Every structure is written in structure tokens, then in C-alpha cells.
Amino acid sequence: MTRTVRFRTSLATPLGPMAATFDGPVLVELAFRDTPASTPSPAPAGVAAALAALRVALDAYFAGHAVDFDVPLAPEGTPFQQAVWNALRDVPYGSTASYAEIARRIGRPRAARAVGAANARNPIAILVPCHRVNGADGSLTGYSGGLERKRALQALEARAA
């Protein structure tokens, strides 16, 4: 059995550096970092096309375009987390949902807090748009990249939508 070697790199964005981790051509993590981006190393052949597609899509996204990210994803998590993350991908660009709405969408209407916990553990920012989830009253609630970034992402999408 052949095991792929994970490739990690930094990507510069208007909201600060993001760390991207690929397992072969599949993205397993994309997260904001508060430390300066390091100089990225060249991607191995099996990752280069996926990384290039991610860069192009992120550039378009930050330019204010609704993007269908065409990068294969494999976030690592429990079956419940996977269900939440899949539901997040159905929240339209420029829209928001509440934790309770996501809980209902996955057939677990009493699991709003568990949805919040799964949302907080989302390993793939922007492409799995956990930034589109707000509190029941519409207020901004936690975001692993920081509330200022969440506010900026929602504002970017609202302007473009």
C-alpha cells in the first residue's frame, strides 16, 4: 500500500496567511494563521495542479466573485462533523445560517450546540464556509480565524452577492 506524503504550504491572502495541507492532490486543511507566511516550497507533481487551482479560486474569491471551488476535499472528522461540514457547503454565497438551521438540515434539530462545536473544528476555511454561520439572533459568534476575519468574509460576500 502506497502512502502519500502530506504537503504543507502557506498562502498569502488579503486577510492574512493561510496554511494549506494536501494529502496528495486532496486538500485536508486550509486555516488562517496569525504568524507570517513562510516561503512556500515547490509542490510535488501530484499536488501542483490542485494547489494552482486553489490559488486561482482563492484569488477570485477575495476579488469578490462567487466561486465554485473545484479542489478535492477530505476534511478529517467524525461522521457527525462530516454531516455538519457537508451542510455548510450548501449555505449559499452571500447568505448566512444559524447553528439551529444547520442542525435541522442534518436531521438533528436539538443539536445546535454540537453543530457549533463541529463548526469550530472545521479544518477547511472558506471552502467549507463555517464563516456563514451566525448565532440564532444573527450575531457573529466564534470563528477559529477570528471574528474580524469572519466579519470581513461576510462583508465581502454581502457586497458581491
Could you give the residue numbers annotated as active site?
130
**Alpha helix ranges (H) inside 63-161:** 79-88, 99-105, 112-120, 147-160
Q: How far is 140 from 147, CA to CA, in rounded Å? A: 7
CA proximity to 12, closest of 44, 36, 48: 36
Q: For cell 457547503, what's the residue?
A: 89
Q: How far is 85 from 44, CA to CA, in rounded Å? A: 28
CA proximity to 84, closest of 127, 32, 128: 128
CA proximity to 139, closest of 110, 96, 101: 96
